[in-house]
Amino acid sequence: MSRVIRAAELIGRPVITLDTATGIGEVRDVLFDPLRSRVVGFTLRGRGLLASPLLGILPIEWVQSIGRDAVMVASDTSLVRDRDGMQAVVGQQEEVVGKEVVNEGGASLGTVSDLVLEVDGPSARVVGYEINRPDRRQLIVPVSGRVPVSGNALVLPSDAEHGAATGLTAFRESLERRGEVPRSEIRA
Amino acid sequence: MEIVILGGILAVVLLIAIVGYFLLQQRRSGTIKAVIAPRQSATRTSDEAEDGSGTDRGAT
């Protein structure tokens, strides 16, 4: 059963192993590939204010399930802890929250406030970007293909606002009408 | 007089605790990041460099 959620909901979610039911950390950053519109992994931090701020990287291939309340992995060996391993898993990273969004026609749409993901079992794909408009409205625009990202901005198709919605429920319904997600549970 | 000094010390300790709390939270805060694969960067590949400049890559 797939769910449509905001990526920020995954931040702080505990990561638990299936073999020993041990909490090995919690999600710190959500890492995604903007060209394939897929989540590729998470960075983890320790649990508790004085715990380590960065434990390692959890590649999406090692995730067993992204659940409603926890991310499940097979064991704590799923975590990539050493620096060389982390570099091999991910390349350069660009924070997208607060980044300006422009369309192919050169019009500024606003700034990114969040991503909208369709989560199905162990995988998550990016289906939309939540944008803070200059008039302080928030809009979720659908995304289905490549989204170039640089240190300055990210570029959406010229027709990105077609099919946009305010609010997660309306966005989910819009995706269902277009057949991009199966009719399923709505999580707003 | 002693009460004033004690109050001042307490205020400083409280201030340090509050600032420290926010710094720790900031250090642990998460975000959403796009992963840019290394081959998609602006750096020219060795093949592109060879075609453009005829750089001697060394005999093997």
Asked whether the predicted pLDDT for residue B60 surpasses 70, the reply is: no
Helix, coil or strand: residue A92: strand
Residue A148 has a pLDDT of 85
Between B37 and A2, the higher pLDDT residue: A2
Confirm or reject contact between A152 and chain B (CB < 8 A).
no
Q: Which residue of B has its CA nearest to A28?
A: B30
Confirm or reject contact between B40 and chain A (CB < 8 A).
yes
For residue B40, CA distances in Å to A57, A121, A133, B53 come to 21, 29, 29, 21
| Interface predicted TM-score (ipTM) | 0.86
pLDDT digit string, tens, across residues A79-111: 887 766 666 666 788 899 999 999 888 889 999
Between A152 and B41, the higher pLDDT residue: A152
Confirm or reject contact between B3 and chain A (CB < 8 A).
no
User: What is the rounded average pLDDT for all residues in chain A?
Assistant: 87
The percentage of chain A sitting over the pLDDT mark of 70, rounded to a whole number, equals 92
Asked whether the predicted pLDDT for residue B55 surpasses 70, the reply is: no
Q: Which residue of B has its CA nearest to A32?
A: B34
Instruction: Give contacts of B32 with chain A, Cβ < 8 Å.
Output: 7-8, 29-30, 32, 95-97, 114-115
Residue A4 has a pLDDT of 92
Alpha-carbon gap, residue A129 to A156, rounded angstroms: 10
Residue A163 has a pLDDT of 81
- Average pLDDT of span A19-37: 93
Alpha-carbon gap, residue A134 to A139, rounded angstroms: 11
Q: What is the DSSP string of chain B?
A: -HHHHHHHHHHHHHHHHHHHHHHHHHHH---EEEEEPGGGSSSPPHHHHHHHH-------
Mutate to test the interface with A, among B23, B27, B35 (most CBs of A within 10 A): B35
pTM of this prediction?
0.80
